[in-house]
Structure 1
Amino acid sequence: MIKSTDAGGSAVQVGAQSVYSQCITNHPRIIAVLGGTGNEGQGLALRFAAAGHRVIIGSRDAEKARTAAQQLNGRLERSLLEGSDNQAAVKAADVIILTVPYSVQRTTVEQVSAALGGKILIDATVPLKPPKVSRVQLPEAGSAVAAIQRMLGESVRVVSAFQNVSAHHLQDLDHAVDCDVLVCGDDVNAREVVVGLCGDIGMRGLHAGPIDNSAAAEALTSILISINSRYKSAGAGIRITNLPD
């Protein structure tokens, strides 16, 4: 059973048939999920709220964000999430997760860049270009996430993660998300924070090198989409084998 706490410390139980027990984090953070009204963003928001983090759903439309937060709170049966416009969400948070489509990735970051200084930005962007989403289409510069790090400079610690995690599985709180997460970034300490956050929601985060390596994770998403189509899967993931315990 997934358990969380509200502000008063009361336990929250999510999903009577859950297949694993998720521990409450010992390091609660304020996490803003930009694009939190989409499927991936909502899935991550649910998981992090259930793990004891304070979660703010961000959107260009504050009312849309508040509505999404209310709906997710209904699923959790507690008021654990809140919604606001992107700028307010970023200002209040110490960790920001970007889950917007590639087409608006850069403009979204530009709009909140003034509030990002000194914070960790987890970018889950995948450069998908419909309708051929099962074909790898990386930008000329290589990595969509690395381009954001170059744009923001060293004052913002950009980390790439969650590109290969199924939104379908994230939103199914009765089941563990059985996959690894490739975590790329130039700041090792920021990567370690994100690896810890992965563990908070039942996944294994792995240090996967500098931010330019994000190109590999971004490309893998199109491969997973192709595999899902071929094998009629709801959401294939990745697992790195032969690592020491």
Structure 2
Amino acid sequence: MGGTGPQGKGLGYRFARHGHDVVVGSRAADKADTVAAEIRERLEGVEGAGRVSGAANADACADADVVLLAVPWDGHDELVASLPLAGKTVVSCVNPLAFDKRGAHGAVIDGGEGSAAEHAARLAPEATVVGAFHNVSAVLLWGDEEFLDEDVLCVGDSDEGKEVAMELARAVTGRSGVSAGKLRLARVLEPMTAVLISINRKYKVNSGIRITGLDHGEA
């Protein structure tokens, strides 16, 4: 997985906590090693935890079946184009956001007809790209609760790719993620994070999204 920021670190911790082996990626391998060490320390005493290591981005991707993109939008395209992603499932949780005096809002991508996830799909045509984990709080991911009381919405043009992300969601919420439509709907999920930021500032919480009307027992 790529990303040593709060979101990437929190997701890496959750995945490893529930048995997945994780390689944290960064432009600088030593930075990835530092974050991997933080996650390993957090996992001390957790039975069944996966292995966690750090590497430069391309090396982190090389032997991975699933690559998580948890990177800033600035420089996104250059980074994604440089990675060995062919044949892999790529999960994008990149949120292109902008900020002004009125607060956070979604950056307009391709005149409103694009998203970070769609850019990744174009840059890595031989990968299976899905969007997921956009709206999960980094604070809660690094918290003490075993599972978060919210849903992970997964979008993609491949049902098999979405199933991979939906299964990974179990490490975060304790249940399958929600299949939420085609990849183009990342245009909705990515800027939705700006709405949650506004809610968090107003109510001093770490909000998430929960979908009602589903039988989660069947997920």
Pairwise CA RMSD: 1.7
Give 1:26-37 correspondences, 5 Å limit.
Answer: 33-35=1-3, 37=4
- 4+ residue segments displaced more than 3 Å: 130-133
Which of 88, 103, 117 in structure 2 is aligned with 1:119? 88
Q: Aligned match of 1:87 in 44, 53, 58?
A: 58
List runs of 5+ in structure 1 lacking aligned partners: 1-32
Q: Say if 2:210 is the partner of 1:230.
A: no
Q: Which residue of the partner structure matches residue 177 of structure 2? A: 205
What's the TM-score, normalizing by structure 1?
0.80
Q: Give the aligned partner of residue 187 of structure 1.
A: 158
Segments of structure 2 that go 5 or more residues without pairing to the other structure are: none
Aligned pairs, number: 208
Q: Distance in 1 between matches of 2:86 and 2:199?
A: 39
Deviation (angstroms), 1:175: 4.5
Q: Percent identity?
A: 38
The one-letter code of the counterpart of 2:91 is I
The aligned counterpart of 1:160 is 131
Question: Deviation at 1:144?
Answer: 1.9
User: Whole-Å Cα distance in 1 between the matches of residues 78 and 148 of structure 2?
Assistant: 31
- The 1:231/1:204 distance shift into structure 2, 3 A limit, reads farther
| Secondary structure of the corresponding residue to residue 72 of structure 1 | helix
In the TM superposition, 1:6-155 aligns within 5 A as 33-35=1-3, 37-77=4-44, 80-112=51-83, 115-131=84-100, 134-139=104-109, 140=111, 141-153=113-125, 155=126
Change in 2 beyond 3 A, CA 1:138/1:177? farther
Q: Secondary structure at the match of 1:57?
A: strand
* Residues in 2 aligned to 1:68 and 1:143: alpha-carbon distance in whole angstroms: 28
Q: Amino acid of the residue matched to residue 121 of structure 1? A: V
